[in-house]
């Protein structure tokens, strides 16, 4: 009986230590996560606006510029003849 009592006390004591350690480490982890989350929002907004601006820049290119770029890619062998025709048709559809 005494052995069972001592074992239960050990587990109780270890449980108390574990809860204490978890209580001590959880707030700093939570604070670090919140700090990163708060500072990430501005960065994500910046990335989103840059992506939007980049897509607007693509729209601002003239059809001639886009076709000449496509021609140069075909001449260099970067795109196949089939890819060239598909892209050319897409560019011309935008007119």
List pLDDT tens digits, range 35-47: 777 767 776 777 7
Percent of residues, the chain, with pLDDT higher than 70:
76
Predicted TM-score of the model (pTM): 0.38
Select from 57, 54, 91 the least CA-distant residue to 74.
91
**DSSP letters along 7-69, please?**
HHHHHHHHHHHHHHHHHHHHHHHHHHHHHHHHHHHHHHHHHHHHHHHHHHHHHHS-HHHHHHH
pLDDT at 74 over 80: yes
Q: Are 79 and 73 in contact (CB under 8 A)?
A: yes
Could you give the CA distance from residue 74 to residue 9 in angstroms, rounded to a whole number? 78
Q: How many CB atoms lie within 10 A of CB 70?
A: 19
Q: For residue range 52-62, list pLDDT tens digits in order.
A: 766 555 556 78
* Phi, psi (deg, nearest 5) at residue 51: -65, -40
């Amino acid at each position: 009986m005494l052995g069972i009592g001592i074992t239960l006390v050990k587990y109780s004591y270890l449980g108390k230590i574990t809860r204490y350690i978890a209580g001590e480490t959880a707030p700093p982890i939570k604070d670090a996560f919140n700090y990163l989350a708060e500072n990430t929002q501005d960065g994500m907004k910046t990335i989103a606006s840059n992506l939007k601006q980049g897509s607007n820049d693509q729209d601002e290119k003239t059809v001639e510029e886009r076709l000449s770029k496509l021609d140069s890619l075909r001449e260099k062998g970067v795109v196949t003849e089939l890819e060239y025709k598909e892209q050319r048709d897409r560019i011309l559809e935008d007119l």
